[in-house]
Amino acid sequence: MSDLSRLTATELVAGYRGGEFSPVEVVRAVLARIEETEHAVNAFVRVHGEEALEQARASEDRWRRGEPAGLVDGVPVTVKDILLLRGAPTLRGSRTAPTTGEFPEDAPSVARLREHGAVFAGKTTTPEYGWKGVTDSPLSGVTGNPYDPARTAGGSSGGSAAAVALGCGPLSLGTDGGGSVRIPAAFSGIFALKPTYGRVPLYPASAFGTLAHVGPMTRDAADAALMMDVISGPDPRDWSQLAPSQGEFTQQLDGGLSGLRIAFSPDFGGQVEVQPEVAAAVRRAVERLEDLGAHVEERDPGFADPVAAFHTLWFSGAARVTQGLSEEQRALLDPGLREICEEGARHSALDYLAAVDVRMDLGRRMGAFHRDWDLLVTPTLPLTAFEGGVEVPPGSGLTRWTGWTPFTYPFNLTQQPAASVPVGLDAAGLPIGLQLVAARHEDALVLRAAHALYAAGAAGVPESTAL
């Protein structure tokens, strides 16, 4: 039964269709896996055991009748506790959030999954309001790495990444405002996509504005494409959503890489110090891209680190999200969050608009870059997972999480699609991630390239090394 918890969503749907196993069997296996691993990793804020089994029984009946509700009927899904899930509180990692009420709404991505018959196994951990690149909070404590629970799973979608890596549901919904699906995917050995902004509708709007994307966190690129076919459906509550995508993402996976022009930037032109094992693993994967028919050259995107502009936008958003809290509530916040809120509150409108100017210039530069290059490849992160419960690696001299995530947040500023693909383990058995970036609206191309790496055996990490 435990083997069922290790199957991908694509494999589960095929098994349901062929009558090999049932949604109830799968959900029981997933719930058993949660019970087995949760004490060590702490990936969940809330587990929906009875509700999930009830949803699985309804799915089983639909499959028995040959009338599945949609593309992921009976597939266990987890949801980062930033997104609304009907019938459950959304605590956002904060002791200031209301815990009682009716909670009548699903977020758009959750609503689309529900319409397609997904089974909701639970809500996953997040740092408070998703503010940092690791997952710990005053509400739920520290979320550990599935390959070494003493280390961080990354963040801010760390609970989702750990859940997928450990077999606690093959699909998870995360959010990404500066790397928050890609960072934990890299640390936890899974796949994650930050789609083009607006491709997946979001409601309520994030206080971090148009930096924040919703994206799939999955076992491989094929599952992410399946999930995108579901969650990119329109929702009138998001006024900034894009028009429907052209064609199904799953139907565009197998185009191969022949003739693609790929720029490989190993360190952003010497701006980033990358751990040697990370650099070597990423370079090996890039060589496989070339073997698969892509034209690869070392080329840097040619921009200076936009971290100051990102901080202005990010810290201002944090100040906004906590603006209505009382002094008593503020005392309950993560101390690091309080610090950036205080800094954000000091920014003027002119400061904010100056940061927007930097953002627009960066977007223009990347638009020009992608006239020559179909894809940009970088390490997802310059390092592997470090000690849990801290914002920055001990002894690094860094002060904020952005100091060790220089490859991720620039592409939130530009709203481009970007994915993290696992490309092996370091000597300590910790996962390493490679990042694929494409021009805005080219989400299918990112998925296609990632799928080619999986198909060639150049992506993924050994499951036996996780808990």
Active site (catalytic) residues: 80, 156, 180
Q: Is 292 left (phi over 0), alpha (psi -120 to 50) or beta?
A: alpha
Distance CA 178, CA 157 (A): 11
Q: Which candidate, 52, 15, 135, places its Cα nearest to that of 385?
A: 135
Count other C-beta atoms under 10 Å from residue 234's C-beta. 13
Q: Which candidate, 421, 419, 453, places its Cα nearest to that of 292?
A: 453
CB-based burial label for 142 (10 Å; 0-12, 13-18, 19+): buried
Could you tell me the CA-to-CA distances from 9 to 191, 365, 366, 411 in Å, in that order? 13, 37, 34, 28
Backbone angles phi, psi at 385, to 5 degrees: -60, 140
Could you tell me the CA-to-CA distances from 263 to 132, 156, 373, 457 in Å, in that order? 29, 28, 6, 21
Residues in the chain: 467
Taking every pair of Cα atoms in the chain, the longest distance, rounded to a whole number of angstroms, is 61
Q: Is 336 left (phi over 0), alpha (psi -120 to 50) or beta?
A: alpha
Q: Which candidate, 147, 153, 77, places its Cα nearest to that of 463?
A: 147
Could you tell me the CA-to-CA distances from 207 to 189, 211, 213, 281, 321 in Å, in that order? 29, 9, 12, 36, 6
Tokens encoding 405: 């995530």
H/E run at residue 460: none
Say if CB 385 and CB 154 are below 8 A apart: yes
Could you tell me the CA-to-CA distances from 427 to 148, 278, 392, 396, 465 in Å, in that order? 13, 10, 21, 20, 12
Residue keyed to tokens 């940092």? 132
CA 248 to chain CA centroid, nearest Å: 21
Residue keyed to tokens 């949760």? 38
Distance CA 433, CA 185 (A): 7
CA 346 to chain CA centroid, nearest Å: 30
CB-based burial label for 347 (10 Å; 0-12, 13-18, 19+): middle
